[in-house]
Amino acid sequence: MGSILARMGLCLGMMRLRMTEDKLKVGFYNITGCAGCLLSVIFNEDDLLHVAKIIDIKAFPFIKEKKNDGELDVVFMEGLVASNDDVKVLKEVRKKTKVLVALGACACTGCIPAFRNFIQKENYERKVFLRKLELRDQKPVPIDKHVKVEYYIPGCPPDKNEILTFIKDIVLGKKPRGYDKPVCFECRLNKNTCFLDKKELCLGPITNGNCNSVCINGGLVCWGCRGATPDANFETMISLLKEKGIKAKDIKDRMKTFVGLKLPKEVIR
Amino acid sequence: MTVIKLNHITKIEGHASLNLSIKNGKVEVCELQAVEGSRYFEGLLKGRRYFEASEISSRICGICSCAHTVTAIQAIENALGVDVSEQTGLLRELVTIGERIRSHATHLYFLALPDYLGYESALSMAEKYKNELSRALKIIKMGNGIVKVVGGRDLHPVSLTVGGFLKVPSEEELKEIRKELELIKEGTILTGKLFGRLEYPEFVNKTEYFSLVKREEYATLNGDMVSGSKRYKQEEYSKYLKEYHEKYSTANFVVKEGRSYMVGALARVNNSYKSLSSDARKILKSFKIEFPNYNPFVNNFAQAVEIVHFVDRALDICDLLKVKEEPVKKVRLREGHGISAVEVPRGTLWHEYKLDSKGRITYANIITPTTQNLRNLQDDIRAYLPSVMKLSKEKMILEIEKLIRSYDPCFSCSTHFLKVNFV
């Protein structure tokens, strides 16, 4: 992974050097999802018009007419694969972009819609005649199950600032940096009272931060939307929460809600 | 024969296509398809704890995540018999107002306006219409600011829960909001004027306009449903609303007593324009657009008027609120069944839950505004086609897209669940 990131950084850097006058050709697309990640781009209210100047936004179907957008340098893709149409769009976009960025929890980890992989079919299908349904329904999965992804901007929703920083980095030819500290790191800096002390189901210790612990600041436990830290100790986390009187089913359901498909299988069984 | 297939209509939330076939001047096929993948939210909610419903269903939609959060919470509270404080009610109203302001402003300036000014996108308008765009972004920022302060985050809010608020905003934060609302006021009036002056296509297709109403209030969180002079109880919604499925779409369609109807800003203004704030009423009266109005394109103007109204209402709420720390209401678990209807940016949103005695969800049903509007929108496209048929294909498509966008449809919302009944 690290070497891919390094190569991409280098590649983007060289690209910048080669055509200093040309702006990066960027696309913002979405497949099945809630549009929240693209809104996180648009809702950079003070910077949006400036961003539109420093990059060449070739495609953004949410707010722009569709045009023949040709070859692209970077594409931000929101959403997960849940239909045949999604696969088609995703593969077409992959073909024409040098760099593909998974934007938000659906694209990175499958988010809540992919929780469907962990529940019984009877829960969500009523009188469905599978043969016909399967024509357009796809197993709900993050985009890297279908195509190669160079970068991930996690979170539901992704942090507006993180998106902005990412764009600035690629424009400058810098390699966007990953983040590997748990939510607890920022949470403590924000002087929040620890939810675990209150015997609540908080996934902060095993979840990647860089969200400024926004949920906990607002009074909500961490649901783990940004995915697990590289060194997450799932076993200890689960037994700690069990000791606090929380049921195993509730712990595992919560862990699977946003990022289930990216957790080690033995953890969530 | 003219066949038009509009794949992936742009400048709407989510993904939709339109199939049209016209033969000898007659519309033979008019199918609006949602092509968004199905996400089965109702199924995902089954088996989850009662307090998880809002956090999960919020993910149905980014732009109206507060709407889903509040509606889910109220429905669960109805199932459990929880009454909340006046402060909680006002804060919930405030957060939905913030969302309404940012959603309407996003739709009006970024999705609808380029059509009327002859641009392919708001971004390409930036040079000539810099003032308008910065105004739009300021209004959006205002709405987001309210949601952030009250809800804890501007998308998918975190501080709202069953029985109250996990964290309430401070007095200083609300003061700051109040100050900014005053500053934005002029911009909202200019927005009202801008959308009052636009030339909307002359098209009238009267339907039923369905929305929440409440005495002496422009209803948001509760009230009865009304259409014309007929009133309907929220709890009895399954008696008058019927969901059905068309093979060609991943979204459901809904009819009221067998007929199509419209929800959203136009329906609300048609039903309750007398309860709008005085400045909003002034804007409403200063243009040659009469209310009640039966032109779906005028939904844009109705949204602009609502922005003016809701900035005034938000100011009132800031004055009414004397925020104090309040513990979240204790919940006594019991078997229960609850329904809630809330007015949200695109119309009335319905959530219904059944809970078992341990507080787990055994049944969930969610009907979003766009699913309710789909059938009416399809009827409108059919009725509008004869008047644009003589235009060039390109212009005709633009006109149809304009009509679709005027509804501000959200296909992300409408395909949250696929209830298929294929045979």
| CATH number for the domain harbouring residue A122 | 3.40.50.700
Name every residue whose Cβ is closer than 8 Å to that of residue B186 and which is 6 or more positions away in sequence.
none
Contact B155 A157 (CB under 8 A): yes
Instruction: Give the closest-approach CA distance of A257 to chain B in angstroms.
Output: 9
**In-domain check, residue A178:** no
Chain B partners within 8 Å of A39 (Cβ): 62-63, 106, 155
Instruction: Give the closest-approach CA distance of A3 to chain B in angstroms.
Output: 34
Contact B38 A86 (CB under 8 A): no
Contact A32 B36 (CB under 8 A): yes
Query: Is the same domain home to A7 and A45?
Result: yes
Instruction: Give the closest-approach CA distance of A7 to chain B in angstroms.
Output: 32
Give the per-residue pLDDT at B89.
Answer: 98
Q: Is pLDDT at A5 greater than 60 in this prediction?
A: no
Tally the C-alpha atoms within 13 A of residue B412's C-alpha that lie toward its C-beta. 31
Query: Is the same domain home to A198 and A156?
Result: no
Give the per-residue pLDDT at B417.
Answer: 47
* Gap between the Cα atoms of A143 and A153, Å rounded: 13
Q: Which residue of B has its CA nearest to A62?
A: B11
Query: Is the same domain home to A110 and A192?
Result: no
Q: Is pLDDT at A7 greater than 90 in this prediction?
A: no
Give the per-residue pLDDT at B418.
Answer: 39
- Tell me which residue in B10, B46, B167 faces A66 most closely, judged by beta carbons: B10
Give the per-residue pLDDT at A1.
Answer: 43
Q: Is A149 on the interface with B (CB under 8 A)?
A: no
Give the per-residue pLDDT at B12.
Answer: 81
| Residue ending a domain, choose from A172, A203, A236 | A172
Percent of chain A with pLDDT over 70: 86
Query: Is the same domain home to A217 and A188?
Result: yes
Q: Is pLDDT at A116 greater than 80 in this prediction?
A: yes
Contact A63 B141 (CB under 8 A): no
- Of the pLDDT bands very low, low, confident and very high (cuts 50, 70, 90), residue A20 is very low
Query: Is the same domain home to A132 and A199?
Result: no
A38, A45, A191: which to substitute to probe chain B, counting the most B Cβ within 10 Å?
A45
Query: CA torsion, points B312, B314, B319, B325, in degrees to nearest 10?
Result: 180
Query: Is the same domain home to A116 and A67?
Result: yes
Q: Is A65 on the interface with B (CB under 8 A)?
A: yes
Give the per-residue pLDDT at B23.
Answer: 86
Range of the domain at A153: 2-172
Q: Is pLDDT at A132 greater than 50 in this prediction?
A: no
Give the per-residue pLDDT at B244.
Answer: 84
Where are the strands (E) in B24-152, listed by range? 26-34
| Residue ending a domain, choose from A123, A146, A172 | A172
Query: Is the same domain home to A75 and A206?
Result: no
Contact B15 A215 (CB under 8 A): no
Give the per-residue pLDDT at A8.
Answer: 53
Query: Is the same domain home to A229 and A208?
Result: yes
Query: Is the same domain home to A145 and A214?
Result: no
For the beta carbon of residue B131, count every other beta carbon within 10 angstroms.
Answer: 10
Give the per-residue pLDDT at A126.
Answer: 57
Structural domains of chain B, ranges and CATH numbers in brackets: 34-414 (1.10.645.10)
Question: pTM for the complete prediction?
Answer: 0.94
* Gap between the Cα atoms of B127 and B105, Å rounded: 19
Are B356 and B47 contacting, i.e. CB atoms less than 8 angstroms apart? no
- More confidently predicted of B7 and A40: A40
Query: CA torsion, points B80, B81, B87, B88, in degrees to nearest 10?
Result: 20
Q: Is A46 on the interface with B (CB under 8 A)?
A: yes
- Tell me which residue in B42, B55, B154 faces A43 most closely, judged by beta carbons: B154
Q: Shortest CA distance to A209 belongs to which of A185, A190, A230?
A: A185
Q: Is A140 on the interface with B (CB under 8 A)?
A: yes
- Of the pLDDT bands very low, low, confident and very high (cuts 50, 70, 90), residue A11 is low
Query: Is the same domain home to A130 and A229?
Result: no
- Tell me which residue in B110, B122, B421 faces A127 most closely, judged by beta carbons: B421
Query: Is the same domain home to A145 and A212?
Result: no
Instruction: Give the closest-approach CA distance of B39 to chain A in angstroms.
Output: 5
| Residue ending a domain, choose from A138, A172, A206 | A172
Q: Collapsing DSSP states into helix, strand and coil, what is residue A41?
A: helix
- Tell me which residue in A60, A64, A157 faces B62 most closely, judged by beta carbons: A157
Q: Is A220 on the interface with B (CB under 8 A)?
A: yes
> Mean pLDDT, to the nearest integer, of A19-37?
87
**In-domain check, residue A153:** yes
Query: Is the same domain home to A146 and A21?
Result: yes
**In-domain check, residue A59:** yes
**In-domain check, residue A102:** yes
In order along its 423 residues, chain B shows pLDDT tens digits of 778 887 877 878 888 888 888 888 888 888 888 777 778 888 899 999 999 999 999 999 999 999 999 999 999 999 999 999 999 999 999 999 999 999 999 999 999 999 999 999 999 999 999 999 999 999 999 999 999 999 999 999 999 999 999 999 999 999 999 999 999 999 999 999 999 999 999 999 999 999 999 998 999 999 999 999 999 999 999 999 998 877 777 777 899 999 999 999 999 999 999 999 999 999 999 999 999 999 999 999 999 999 999 999 999 999 999 999 999 999 999 999 999 999 999 999 999 999 999 999 999 999 999 999 999 999 999 999 999 988 988 899 889 999 999 999 987 776 654 333 332
Chain B partners within 8 Å of A259 (Cβ): none
**In-domain check, residue A177:** no
- Say how many domains are in chain A: 2
Instruction: Give the closest-approach CA distance of B141 to chain A in angstroms.
Output: 6
**In-domain check, residue A114:** yes
Instruction: Give the closest-approach CA distance of B124 to chain A in angstroms.
Output: 9
